[in-house]
Amino acid sequence: RWCDADNHATITVTDPATGQALAQVPDMGEAETRRAIIAARDALPAWRARPAQERSQILRRWFDLMIQHDAELARLMTREQGKPLAEALGEI
């Protein structure tokens, strides 16, 4: 789930080519990172208990969505990282 930083601090993500602000993201620290690690560790047994076919279907759906939206994702990567569009598309 999406969480705010404990102190509600944020970082502005900017387009390196234009300096335009794209988004605000939480400026997480050690405590938030530790909670995320614990949440991932706690989620692992339930994920591991799912049959391999079910896990495969979930991961395939994620892949399909990424491919369906590859142009949008590539444009976003280009805007936030300054990466060439062709390279971003290839990464996706």
Mean pLDDT of 66-84: 95
CA nearest 78: which of 13, 11, 2?
Answer: 13
Q: Which two tokens stand for residue 60?
A: 């395939």
Residue 1 has pLDDT above 90, yes or no: no
Long-range contact set of residues 21-29: C-beta below 8 Å, sequence gap at least 24 = 22/79, 22/80, 29/5
Mean per-residue pLDDT of the chain: 96
For residue 77, the model assigns a pLDDT of 94
Which tens digit of pLDDT belongs to each residue from 9-50? 999 999 998 999 999 999 999 999 999 999 999 999 999 999
